[in-house]
Structure 1
Amino acid sequence: EYAPEATAESIADLGAGSLRRAAVEGDVKTGSVLAGQISGMINKEQTCEEIINEIMQDAENILKGAEKWVK
């Protein structure tokens, strides 16, 4: 709801503690979750296991390709 009398301080007070609720208490429904510029690069939902397996596979492929550069 629009409140023309709202000040920057009163608006900031509305979110006070919400970051703590999300980051410390794990309440992501009512807490604030920070997402930076990198969030624009997310294109699929993955489990932690899938992410780690993908990183390991990519690293293995890169290292196999590096053999030609090592004497």
Structure 2
Amino acid sequence: MSRLGMLLCMAAAWVLIIRCRRLSNASKSPLIRTLIYYLVWVVYPSVDAVAELPWVAAARDPTGRA
């Protein structure tokens, strides 16, 4: 899950960077930069943290060994 989350965030960040470079005005936009930082520093750690919660781990492992 953590590798998948990291790959998704990195892919989203690269897509945003490529689109920003294509649009000359958007490349200077602080909104795009803020969105990339949000994806990398807020969304990815929260995905990793949610996977570590006891009830999420128990739901993913029905044998009760979580």
TM bin (shorter chain):
0.3 to 0.5
Q: Which structure exhibits the higher relative contact order, with contacts defined as CA atoms closer than 8 Å and separated by 6 or more residues?
A: 2
The higher radius of gyration belongs to 1
- TM-score, normalised to structure 2, is 0.32
More helix by share: 2
